[in-house]
Structure 1
Amino acid sequence: MIVELSSIISQGTDPICTEVDGETVMMSIEKGNYYGMNGVGSRIWQLIAEPMSVSVLCGILLDEFCIDKKTCEVDALIFLNKLEEQNLIQVRS
């Protein structure tokens, strides 16, 4: 499923996660892959602990980081679609 601004997203149930030096690291049990997220990616992961729309997520990120709206939306969608491809998040239309 393609993640769009109107999509409702939340953390998936598969990955095991922890924080190391302010960054999120996780392991997918299903795929046996290891993932590391930088500060912004870690913040997104924290925020989607509860389901929310991508547009609401971007609104929060705009308040917290110095970034323009279009760049935020494009970058967030690229990142979230990569997470979805790895089955790390749950997505609803």
Structure 2
Amino acid sequence: MIKSDQILPKHIVTQSEGNIVSDMGNEKVMLNIENGKYYNLGEIGGDIWESISKPTQVNELVHHIVKKYEVQMDKCEEEVISFLENMYQENLIELVVED
């Protein structure tokens, strides 16, 4: 695992273990067993969460979201990285080192 101040488009991210995720309508909600906190990931956040069930490069994730939700690339990259950084600070995701 990498410790970083900032997630970059070239980084690879994946879900951390210890989360219980459920569908609530079109949104996903999550309970982190370690810290006991609940999170509402929303619709797009839930899509991001599903997309990183296996290690995924942030660039690929951004392209997926741009294609699915028809959003501008630069805005999407900014928002996705911000979302991932928040999740990383809460220990919900990990940055993966490629060998």
Please point out which of 52, 72, 78 is paired with 2:76: 72
CA RMSD of aligned residues (A): 1.0
TM-score between both structures, scaled by the size of structure 2: 0.88
Does 1:10 find its partner at 2:14?
Answer: yes
- Structure 1: give runs of 5+ residues left out of the alignment: none
Alpha-carbon offset, residue 85 of structure 1: 0.3
TM-score between both structures, scaled by the size of structure 1: 0.94
- Superposition pairs of residues 1-93 of structure 1, within 5 angstroms: 1=4, 2-93=6-97
Q: What is the aligned length?
A: 93
Residue type at the aligned position of 1:13: E
State the identity as a percent: 27
Residue type at the aligned position of 2:80: A
